[in-house]
Amino acid sequence: MRNNKNLFLKRLTTRQNCIIIGEVAQAHDGSLGMAHAYIDAIADAGADAVKFQTHIASAESTIHEPWRVKFSLQDKTRYDYWKRMEFTEDQWKGLRNHAEERGMFFLSSPFSSEAVDMLTRVGVDAWKIASGEVTNTPMFEGIVRTRLPVLLSTGMSLIHEVDEAVKEIQAAGLPLVILQCTSMYPTPAEKIGLNMIPFFRERYNCLAGLSDHSSKIFPGIVAASMNIDVLEVHVTLSREMFGPDVLASLTTHELGMLVEGIRFVETMMDHPVDKDGMADSLKVMRQLFTKSIVTRKSIKAGSIIKEKDLAIKKPGGGLPAERLSEVIGMRLLKTVSADHILQEGDLEKR
C-alpha cells in the first residue's frame, strides 16, 4: 500500500484544488460487486476520493434502533439492515486497493470504535466523522491515535458540540477540515448554509468545505468559488437505484459535470485578468470587430474632406470612428477609391 497519508495531507495543505469526494455510503446495498462498481464510476467521473461508511452492527446499534425511513422490505429491523451492510476486513482491503489502483484516495466513516480499529488496519487516507458521532469521545480517542487528517461533519451538531470536537482534534495536532452540512435528504436551497463556511474558517482557524445532500451540482460549484478545501457529495449510479440516499445523491454523470464545473471555476479564479493586457492580446480580434473611417466614394488628392464623403465601417485598423469630427475639413494627400480605410498618412497634418 502506498503512503497516501502524506499525499492526502499534501493535497490539503498545498491547496492545489478542492478535493472532491464521491460518497457511496450504503448505495452498494450490501453487494461487494456493486461497491467495486461505484469505485470505477466515481473514478471515471474525475473525483479525487471515494468514501464509504463502515458499519459493524453489533458495535453500533441495538435491535431497538428506529428507522429514519422504512425503505427496506428485506430487513425487519434497522439492526438487520446494518448487519447486511457489513463487509469483512479483507473485503474492505480489496475496496481500498481498488480505489488506490484507480488513483483515488480511500475514506470510510466509522460508526464505532471497532470500525476505527478495523479501518486503521485496512488503511484509510483520512477520517470522515459523521455529525451523529461528534460526541462519541471513545471513538475520537481511537482516531486521534492514528494521526490521520480529520474531516468533521456538522450536519446536526450544535455549535458547542463542534467546539468540543474541534478542541480535541486540534489539541492532538491533527489536520482538520470542518464540513458545513445539513442533515436533510435532499437539502433544499434555503437550508444548505454556505454562509457557515467562512464562519467555521474564522472560528476554528482551519480548512473548511461542504458536505452536500441537495442532489444538485449548483451548491458545489458556488462553494468552489469560495475556495473550499473539500467537497463531499452522495453518488448513485441511477435515480432508479434502491436505497435511502438516492434522492439526495448526484448520478455519476452529474458528478462528472460537477467535477468539470469546479475545475473550471478554480482555473478561472486562479487567473485574474488585466483588462488592458487582455485587450492588447486580442488585437487581431479587435481589428475584426471594430470600425474605421472610410470614404464613401473616390476622392482626388488635394480635396478637402466633407462629412458626406465619409462612412464608418468594418474592419478596424484605420482611423477610429471617434476621430470623425477631426477628419472633416482635412486635406487628402492622395487619390483614394470608395471604401478606402483612411490612415494617418492619408491626411495633411493641421
Q: What is the pLDDT of residue 130?
A: 87
DSSP string, 32-76: HHHHHHHHHHHHHTT-SEEEEEE--HHHH--TTPPPSS---SS-S
The dihedrals phi and psi of 308, each to the nearest 5 degrees, come to -70, -15
* Cell numbers describing residue 348: 495633411
Q: Are 129 and 143 in contact, with CB atoms under 8 Å apart?
A: yes
Nearest to 294 by CA among 243, 343, 258: 343
* Cell numbers describing residue 192: 444548505
Q: What is the DSSP letter of 271?
A: S
Biggest distance spanned by C-alpha atoms of the chain: 104
> 3-state SS string over 11-23?
HHHHCCCCEEEEE
Q: Tell me where in the chain the CATH 3.90.1210.10 domain(s) lie.
A: 276-346
| H-type alpha helices, 194-273 | 196-204, 218-224, 252-269
The dihedrals phi and psi of 238, each to the nearest 5 degrees, come to -160, 150
Burial letters for 264-288: b for 16+ Cβ neighbours within 10 Å, e otherwise? ebbeeeeeeeeeeeeeeeeeeeeee
- Residue 288 identity: L
Query: Whole-angstrom Cα distance, residue 262 to residue 312?
Result: 44
DSSP string, 44-56: HTT-SEEEEEE--
Q: What is the pLDDT of residue 318?
A: 94
Q: Which residues contact 64 (CB under 8 A, 6 or more apart)?
A: none
Query: Whole-angstrom Cα distance, residue 171 to residue 23?
Result: 28
Q: What is the pLDDT of residue 4?
A: 52
Question: What's the Cα-to-Cα distance from 20 to each of 45, 156, 339, rounded to whole Å?
Answer: 10, 22, 57
Q: Are 107 and 120 in contact, with CB atoms under 8 Å apart?
A: no
| H-type alpha helices, 147-195 | 159-171
Question: What's the Cα-to-Cα distance from 102 to each of 46, 139, 168, 227, rounded to whole Å?
Answer: 10, 30, 34, 26
Can you give the pTM of this predicted structure? 0.86
Question: What's the Cα-to-Cα distance from 307 to each of 193, 296, 304, rounded to whole Å?
Answer: 62, 10, 10
Q: What is the pLDDT of residue 5?
A: 55
One digit per residue, the tens of pLDDT, for the chain of length 350 reads: 444 557 888 888 887 799 999 999 989 989 999 999 999 999 999 999 999 999 998 888 878 877 777 777 787 787 888 888 899 999 999 999 999 999 999 999 999 999 999 999 999 999 999 888 888 888 888 999 999 999 999 988 899 999 999 999 999 999 999 999 999 999 999 999 999 999 999 999 999 999 999 999 999 999 999 999 999 999 999 998 888 889 999 999 999 999 999 999 999 999 999 988 888 888 888 888 999 999 999 999 999 999 999 999 999 999 999 999 999 999 999 999 999 999 999 999 87
Q: Tell me where in the chain the CATH 3.20.20.70 domain(s) lie.
A: 4-269
CATH code of the domain made up of 4-269: 3.20.20.70
Q: Which residues contact 274 (CB under 8 A, 6 or more apart)?
A: none
Q: What is the pLDDT of residue 66?
A: 79
Q: Are 111 and 54 in contact, with CB atoms under 8 Å apart?
A: yes
* Cell numbers describing residue 68: 429514519
CATH code of the domain made up of 276-346: 3.90.1210.10
